[in-house]
Amino acid sequence: MKIRHDRAKALMVHAVLLTYTLIALFPIWVVIINAFKSRKAIFNDPLALPTADTFSIVGFEEVLLRSEFDVFFSNSMIVTLTSIFFVLLFGAMIAWALTEYKFKGNLLIAVLVAMGIMIPIRLGTVSILQLMSDLNLVNTLTALVLVYIAQGLPLAVYILSEFIRQIPKDLKEAARCDGVGEIKIFFAIIVPLIKPAMATVAVFTMIPIWNDLWFPLILAPSEGNQTITLGVQQFIGQFVTDWNSVLAALTLAILPILVLYLIFSRQLIRGLTSGAVK
Amino acid sequence: MTKTSAGKPFPWHILFFLGPGLLIYFSVSVYPLLDTLRLSFFHESSDGSLAFAGLANFTKLLFDVVWSEPFWNATWNNLVFFFIHMLVQNPIGLLLAVLLSSPKLRLSGTYRTLIFMPTMLSVVIIGFVWQLLLSPLWGITENFMWNLGLEDYFDAWLGKESSALVTLAFISVWQFVGIPMMLIYAALLSIPDELSDASVVDGANPWQAFFYIKLPLILPTIGMVSILTFVANFNAFELVYTIKGALAGPNYSTDIMGTLFYRTFFGFQLQEGSLTMGAAVATLMFLVILLGVALYLFFFQRRIKRFQL
């Protein structure tokens, strides 16, 4: 009796989770399969898989011909990777200094940095645009990188501080007794120890940067400097009636993230559930 | 441990560690935010010079009909947007998290990974995807509802003044339900089994075990999810901009703070963009977000601390 009851319960749980999984995947699935179909087949039977008759990649050809998808993609790569590198480097350095040394203003700096976790950097857009135009950085990828470093630092400092605090004192003290300098202690002892935490920070930093539309739209909207999110937005806005192209553009934007996500999902979910961001 | 007691040389190493990061953080994040607050008290004349204007921008925004009507409209819409997230997204997230954490559940990791997937994609992509799916031209949703016998209820929801905002909110809920799910799931996992086992031994049924043991323990996480939702919603822009454009149509029915800020700052159609009015809108957004965070910190967190004691 008890076993049957448990089994029925497990079945219910699976039914609900499976239904929700389908709800989550269905829209993405429909877009991807239709990107590989002819225009007629897209409308005749949207839910069918492409067959030999209906298979067509005309949409992809159009997208690659009429937009600079490769440029958008490499812009996004450059911006995202550069930003992550500096967020990790500077974030770890700040986290180390704030947790390790006692000095005047320590608490004030810690509070100001922590505030950045909750207060969106977007609210300063008016002055950021002015600043970038004063620095002659409007329409450059550098402007985006600077903004994203500032955007990513608060959470990075927060997570990395938690990890640095757990490093045993003996390690640092032993090095100091041997006369090793503070900077070398940081790079040779601390950084290797917090690498797992850095991977978590990298994933959390990467997603909002790659997906952002606001700052590319405002700081670097011109031809040749668009990131992939902005490029796709502009392209679809322009060719909104060309269903093949729209579906192909969406698929091209989705697939790289999908592949990366499936590779790194374990890392990401472990980060989310390990209590690193509570 | 302390390397900087009096009489020691200037701590160059601290400057080395803090300098580069803080330089960028202060000049690109802290300073622009403070400068935006400052600019909101100024008036920009047509030659571009700034003159101190006191609270004029704010009185305009809050009381002058030309400005206040769009402002209150966007505020109200944003509240609706937020309440839909609180009433739909977070309860569904909680339900999924509870189901995922059931003991000895097979495929739990797979469900988790797949349900979280939409959250990873850009809001822009999601916006276009749903625009296609809901399009009466393509008819996917219409056919689907026809199969369920609900075809009479289908409508071009995104195009109607009465339903566009709610539809957008549901699209956003669909995309971000993974965040409350993950955070609450993590909190549930951290509850020791002994606690709920003990309650079962004491004769509690699973519902009682959930409501009296687990729910109070994950309340801090639910509070955090709520404040994250609040900040994200009052800062949202991309979804409306992607689907409805900067004008947030039809007839501004989907206008929220983010799109209002964008239009005020950059201008649209006949209205010229204004630096200082844009700053004023941003300042009010800042106050709204600050208010939310303060309420959370003072009431929610304090009560929970007491509970944990």
Nearest to B114 among A25, A236, A254 (CB): A25
Interchain contact B87–A (C-beta under 8 A): no
Classify residue A278: in a domain, yes or no.
Answer: no
Q: Where is average pLDDT lowest: A199-203, B30-34, B92-96?
A: A199-203
Nearest to B28 among A23, A150, A273 (CB): A150
- Give the three-state DSSP class for B253: coil
What ipTM goes with this model? 0.89
Same domain, yes or no: A86 and A160: yes
Contact A246 B22 (CB under 8 A): no
- How many beta-carbon pairs below 8 A join chains A and B? 244
Is A85 inside a domain boundary?
yes
The CATH number of residue B169's host domain is 1.10.3720.10
If phi > 0 it is left, if psi is from -120 to 50 it is alpha, else beta; for residue A162 that is alpha
Q: How far is CA A264 from CA A203, B117, B125, B145, B289, in A?
A: 8, 12, 20, 36, 32
pLDDT at residue A240 in the model: 80
Per-residue pLDDT reduced to its tens digit, A230-261 = 998 998 888 888 888 999 999 998 988 888 88
Do residue A124 and residue A74 come from a single domain? yes
pTM, entire model: 0.90
* Residue A3, min C-alpha distance to chain B (Å): 14
Listed residues A27, A56, A85: the one ending a domain? A56
- Residue B46 belongs to some domain of the structure: no
Check whether residue A46 and residue A137 sit in a common domain.
no
* Residue B272 or residue B116, greater confidence: B116
> Taking residues A49-66, what's their average pLDDT?
88
**Which chain B residues touch A213 with a CB distance below 8 Å?**
122-124, 237-238, 241-242
In one-letter notation, the amino acid at residue B292 is G
Does residue B182 lie in a domain region?
Answer: yes
pLDDT at position A150: 96
Give the start-end residues of each E strand in B114-164: none
Of B131, B243, B96, the residue nearest A30 (C-alpha): B131
**For residue A138, what is the DSSP state?**
T
Domain contains B201: yes
| Cβ atoms B239, B168 nearer than 8 A | yes
Reported confidence tier of residue B304, pLDDT bands at 50, 70, 90: low
Domain termination residue (choose one: A13, A30, A56): A56
Nearest residue on chain B to A150, alpha-carbon basis: B25
Identify which has the larger pLDDT, B8 or B158: B158
3-state secondary structure of A239: coil
What residues have CB less than 8 Å from B174, skipping those under 6 apart?
A23, A24, A27, B118, B126, B130
B136 touches chain A (CB under 8 A): no
Q: How confident is the model at residue B155 (pLDDT cuts 50, 70, 90)?
A: confident
- Mean pLDDT of the region B82-88: 96
Quote the CA–CA distance of A4 and B199 in Å, as a whole number: 23
Inter-chain touch A149–B28, beta carbons under 8 Å: yes
pLDDT at B45: 83
Pairing type for strands B42-44 and B50-52 reads antiparallel
**Does the beta carbon of B23 lie under 8 angstroms from any beta carbon of chain A?**
no
Q: Using CB atoms, which residue from B117, B122, B139 is nearest to A253?
A: B122
Q: Is the pLDDT of residue B269 over 60?
A: yes
pLDDT tens digits for B104-117? 888 888 999 999 99
Partner-chain residue, chosen from B13, B129, B143, that has the shortest CB–CB distance to A183 = B13
How many angstroms away from the CA of A23 is the closest CA of chain B?
A: 8
* A75 inside domain: yes
Does residue B41 sit within a domain? Answer: no
Partners of B261 on chain A (C-beta within 8 Å) are 125
Range of the structural domain that residue A160 is part of? 62-273
Residue B23 has pLDDT above 80, yes or no: yes
Any CB–CB contact under 8 A between B210 and chain A?
A: no
Test A31 with B16 for CB contact under 8 angstroms: no
Q: Is the pLDDT confidence value at A178 over 60? A: yes
My answer on whether A49 and A153 are in the same domain is no
Weakest mean pLDDT among A53-57, A83-87, A246-250, B197-201? B197-201
Nearest CB neighbour to A261, from listed B27, B117, B125: B117
pLDDT at A227: 93
Contact B36 A207 (CB under 8 A): no
Closest chain B CA to residue A247: B129
Tell me whether residue B50 is in a domain.
no
**Is A3's pLDDT higher than 70?**
no
- On whether residue B57 sits in a domain, the answer given is no
DSSP conformation class of B157: G
Q: How confident is the model at residue A276 (pLDDT cuts 50, 70, 90)?
A: very low
Using the predicted structure, report yes or no on whether residue A277 has a pLDDT greater than 60. no
Whether residues A9 and A118 share a domain: the answer is: no
CA distance A126 to B41: 14
pLDDT grade, residue A275 (50/70/90)?
low
Shared domain for A24 and A102, answered yes or no, is: no
**Could you say which of A210, A243, A273 has the minimum Cβ distance to residue B186?**
A273
A20 interaction partners in chain B (CB closer than 8 Å): 92, 96, 111, 115
Region B79-104: mean pLDDT is 93
How distant, in Å, are the alpha carbons of A63, A240, B13, B89, B177 from that of A248?
A: 7, 12, 52, 30, 26
Q: B31 pLDDT exceeds 90?
A: yes
pLDDT by residue (tens digit) across A125-169? 999 999 999 999 999 999 999 999 999 999 999 999 988 988 888
Nearest C-alpha in A relative to B20? A90
A contacts of B140 (beta carbons < 8 Å): 30, 46-47
Name the residue in chain B with its Cα closest to that of A86: B21
Q: What is the pLDDT of residue B289?
A: 93
Beta carbons within 8 Å of B36's beta carbon, 6+ residues apart: A123, A124, A125, A126, A127, B279, B282, B283, B286
Number of domains in chain B: 1
Res B307 pLDDT > 70: no
Q: Mean pLDDT of all residues in chain B?
A: 88
Same domain, A42 and A69: no
Q: Is B165 exposed, middle or buried (0-12, 13-18, 19+ CB in 10 A)?
A: buried
Do residues A124 and A247 both lie within one domain? yes
Mean pLDDT for all residues in chain A: 89
Nearest C-alpha in B relative to A115 = B30
Query: Which tokens is A248 given?
Result: 């192909």
Distance CA A266, CA B109 (A): 9
Selecting from B4, B21, B32 the residue whose C-beta is nearest the C-beta of A103 gives B4
- Label residue B2 by pLDDT band (50, 70, 90): very low
pLDDT band at A1; cut points 50, 70, 90:
low
What is the mean predicted confidence (pLDDT) over A57-67?
88
pLDDT mean over A86-109? 93
Number of domains into which chain A is organized: 2
* pLDDT given for residue B3 in this prediction: 47
The answer, yes or no, to whether residue B303 has pLDDT greater than 70, is no
B300 within some domain? yes
A4: pLDDT strictly greater than 90: no
Q: Is A176 a residue whose pLDDT tops 80?
A: yes
Inter-chain CB proximity A258 and B117 less than 8 Å? yes
B136 found inside a domain: yes
